[in-house]
């Protein structure tokens, strides 16, 4: 399957995104993108990465860049394909319903899904999210409000939450 791969410079380092059949299927910081590609290949089969020119006009890149300048709803307009199990897609959809600047716990997400004892499964689905930022897995916290489990690292998670809080209050 052809996978168009683009990149954007951000305050947190290069961010890569991948599209298949016109829909975004992967977004991750460059140092975590290989893991996203491997997960996509397990679900989609053999991938043929094709680089997008940085100079080419691109709505996905523009929307991601707008998010970093404070337009927190810019990501809502990105056409995505959730590539995962039924349970993972349910968790990821629930994450997308959390407004910018807000957070929740893995346990609260599990209760939202009608699976009150599935906090660990929700955490695992959160960790398998291939659409960092677009599916805002950084908005999920530990039961006591602690920053836990972000593939891009806890410093990035802290920055992302502070960024959203700053612009959500405007």
11 is catalytic: no
Among 46, 77, 108, the domain-final residue is 77
Range of the domain at 38: 2-77
Q: Residue 55 has which token pair?
A: 């100079």
- The whole-angstrom separation of Cα 86 and Cα 33 is 23
- The whole-angstrom separation of Cα 150 and Cα 32 is 11
Same domain, 164 and 132: yes
Report the CATH number that the domain containing residue 147 is assigned in CATH.
1.10.10.10
Report the number of distinct structural domains present in the chain.
2
Report the CATH number that the domain containing residue 42 is assigned in CATH.
3.30.160
Catalytic residue among 18, 25, 27, 137: 137
Among 77, 109, 127, the domain-final residue is 77
Among 32, 58, 77, the domain-final residue is 77
Q: Look up the pTM and report it.
A: 0.93
Residue with tokens 């502070």: 162
Same domain, 71 and 111: no
pLDDT tens, 66-121?
A: 999 999 999 999 999 999 999 999 999 999 999 999 999 999 999 999 999 999 99
């Amino acid at each position: 399957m052809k996978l168009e791969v683009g990149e954007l410079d951000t305050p947190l380092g290069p961010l890569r995104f991948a599209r298949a059949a016109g829909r975004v299927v992967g977004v991750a910081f460059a140092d975590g993108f290989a893991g996203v590609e491997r997960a996509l290949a397990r679900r989609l089969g053999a991938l043929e990465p094709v680089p997008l020119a940085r100079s080419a006009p691109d709505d996905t890149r523009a929307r991601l860049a707008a998010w970093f300048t404070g337009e927190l709803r810019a990501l809502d307009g990105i056409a995505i394909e959730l590539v995962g199990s039924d349970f993972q897609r349910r968790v990821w959809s629930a994450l997308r319903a959390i407004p910018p600047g807000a957070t929740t716990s893995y346990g609260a997400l599990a209760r939202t899904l009608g699976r009150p004892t599935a906090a660990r499964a929700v955490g695992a689905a959160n960790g398998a999210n291939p659409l960092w930022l677009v599916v805002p897995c950084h908005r999920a916290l530990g039961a006591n409000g602690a920053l836990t489990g972000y593939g891009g690292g806890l410093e990035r998670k802290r920055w992302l939450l502070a960024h959203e809080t700053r612009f959500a209050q405007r």
